[in-house]
Amino acid sequence: MPDTSLDTVPPIPDFPLSREPGKPFDPPLEVLQRSKSEQLFPVRIWDGSTPWLVTGYEAIRALFTDARASVDDRKPGYPHWNEGMHSTGQKRPRSVFTSDAEEHTFYRRMLSKPFTCRRVEALREAVQKITDDHIDAILAGPQPADLVEKFALPIPSLVISRLLGVPYEDAEFFQEQSSMGLNRYATAEDTAKGAGALAKYLKGLLEKKMDDPAEDLVSDLAERVKAEEISLREAAQLATGILIAGHETTGGQIAVSIVALLENPDQLALLRDTDDPKVIATAAEELLRYCSIIQTGQRRIATEDIEVGGVTIRAGDGIILDVAPANWDIRQFPFPDQLRLDRDEGPNVAFGYGRHSCVGQQLARMELQISLPTLLRRIPTLKLTIPRDELLFKHDALSYGLYELPVTW
Which residues make up the interface to ligand HEM (CB under 6 A)?
96-97, 108, 160, 241-242, 245-246, 249-250, 253, 293-294, 298, 323, 350-352, 356-360, 363-364
**Torsion 110-113-117-120 (CA) sign:** negative
Cβ proximity to ligand HEM: between 32 and 317 the closer is 317
Cβ proximity to ligand HEM: between 32 and 159 the closer is 159
Smallest distance from ligand HEM to CB 17, Å: 28
Peptide bond into 144 cis (omega under 30): yes
* Beta carbons of 41 and 53 less than 8 angstroms apart: yes
Smallest distance from ligand HEM to CB 350, Å: 5
Cβ proximity to ligand HEM: between 121 and 390 the closer is 121
Smallest distance from ligand HEM to CB 122, Å: 15
* Beta carbons of 367 and 388 less than 8 angstroms apart: no
What are the beta bridge partners of residue 306?
A: 313
How far is 385 from 241, CA to CA, in rounded Å?
A: 35
The HSE-up count of residue 234 (CA atoms within 13 Å, CB side) is 22
Cβ proximity to ligand HEM: between 37 and 250 the closer is 250
Smallest distance from ligand HEM to CB 309, Å: 18
How far is 265 from 113, CA to CA, in rounded Å?
A: 39
* Beta carbons of 77 and 83 less than 8 angstroms apart: no
Smallest distance from ligand HEM to CB 5, Å: 29
Smallest distance from ligand HEM to CB 228, Å: 23
Among all residues, whose Cβ is closest to ligand HEM?
360
Cβ proximity to ligand HEM: between 88 and 371 the closer is 371
How far is 388 from 393, CA to CA, in rounded Å?
A: 10
Smallest distance from ligand HEM to CB 348, Å: 10
Cβ proximity to ligand HEM: between 4 and 282 the closer is 282
Cβ proximity to ligand HEM: between 117 and 140 the closer is 117
Cβ proximity to ligand HEM: between 4 and 369 the closer is 369
Cα distances from 250 to residues 31, 247, 257, 408, in angstroms, run: 30, 5, 10, 23
- In sequence order, the 6+-apart residues with CB closer than 8 A to the CB of 276 are none
Listed residue (284, 83, 247) closest to 157, CA to CA: 247
Cα distances from 184 to residues 51, 169, 221, in angstroms, run: 18, 27, 30
Smallest distance from ligand HEM to CB 266, Å: 24
Strands 318-321, 52-54: parallel, antiparallel or unpaired by DSSP? parallel
